[in-house]
Structure formats: C-alpha cells, structure tokens
Amino acid sequence: MDIQQDKTKILMVCLGNICRSPTAEVVFREKARAEGFDKYLYIDSAGTGSWHIGHPPDERATQTAIQRGYDMSALRGRQVTREDIEKYDYIFAMDRQNLHDLLALSNPEHREKISLFLHHGNTEQDEVPDPYYSGADGFELVLDLIEDASGKLLRTLSGKHQWA
C-alpha cells in the first residue's frame, strides 16, 4: 500500500469488498475530484472477509455505478488489516457487523477513527444494506445512500481540515 503521508487517508469497509465499499470508494473519490479536494485525499476500500481478495467488484454494482457515471473497473477486493487501521485517518464501516469487526481488530487508541459511514448522511438509516442477495433496486439504494452520505461527509471533512 503506497499512501502519501501528506493526504487525509480514508478507508471504506464492507464484508467482501465487492459491493458497498468499492461503491463508496469510487463515489467519494469522484465527489472529492468534482470539488477539487482529491489532492488532499487518499481513498481506498477493503472488506472484513477474505472471500473476494483479488476479485473485481460485483458485476451488478459495477453496472449500477456505470449508469451513474462511476468507474470501478480498476478496483480489486482486499481484506482489511491491522496495519490499515493504524495508517488510515478515517475508517467507515457500511454496517454494524463490520463496525464491530473493525473495532475488534483495532487497538483502543485507533477506535475513535472508526464509525458507520451513514452517520454522515441525511438519512435515518445508519447502515448501508448489503445488496448481494437483492435485485437491481438494492444496488440503486446503495448508490443513493452512498451518494448522499459522501456529499455530507466531504463537506464535513473539508471544513474540519480547512481545505481551500
């Protein structure tokens, strides 16, 4: 992992790193680029499970993303590590189970940087539902939730870090 130390490092995490977290990675990256904040950020994704290491994102997630102008073709699944938890500044879990798994993997001094991604959105929902066993509507909902939370999170971070 080649992380530029002068950038704010963000890690999106779901279970397998083939649906929700790669979607959050590309959406957040694109929103940051559109606002001119990408030069301040290093954005990545990972999964708590190891089933999809090296695999591309789920085809349904990829197709839904393409329809909204996001490209996930370069992404490959990987599993989150203790080193990730130490190196990243912010770690966003897509649901409570992944939040629990991340907290269990982390040392106490790193737990404050781990939170639920949707806590930064404009929804009463606090988890991004896993669309893996759903139809197209599930992938659309995931994108809706992630787009909303990404915009709000980007505004929060740009204010906190005073990005010009």
User: Exposed/middle/buried for 156, CB within 10 Å: 0-12, 13-18, 19+?
Assistant: exposed
pTM as predicted: 0.95
CATH of the domain at 13: 3.40.50.2300
Residue 124 lies in a domain: yes
DSSP 8-state class, residue 112: G
Would residue 31 count as lying in a domain? Answer: yes
Per-residue CA distances from 126 to 89, 96, 101, 161 (Å):
21, 8, 16, 24
CB 123 within 8 A of CB 148: yes
pLDDT tens-place string over residues 63-88: 999 999 999 999 999 999 999 999 99
User: Does residue 164 form part of some domain?
Assistant: no
Q: What is the pLDDT of residues 26-43, one digit of tens each?
A: 999 999 999 999 999 999
Q: Kindly list the averaged pLDDT for each block of 10 residues, start to end, along the chain of length 164.
A: 79 98 98 96 97 97 97 97 97 98 97 95 87 93 96 94 85
Q: How many Å apart are CA 144 and CA 96, to the nearest integer? A: 19
Judge whether 84 counts as a catalytic residue. Answer: no
- Domain of residue 30: give its range: 8-158
Concerning whether 19 is annotated as a catalytic residue, the answer is no
Of 44, 58, 95, 130, which residue is the catalytic one? Answer: 130
In a domain, 117, yes or no: yes
Residues 6+ positions from 140 with CB-CB distance below 8 Å:
64
**Residue tagged active-site, from 19, 20, 84, 95:** 20
Number of domain units in the chain: 1
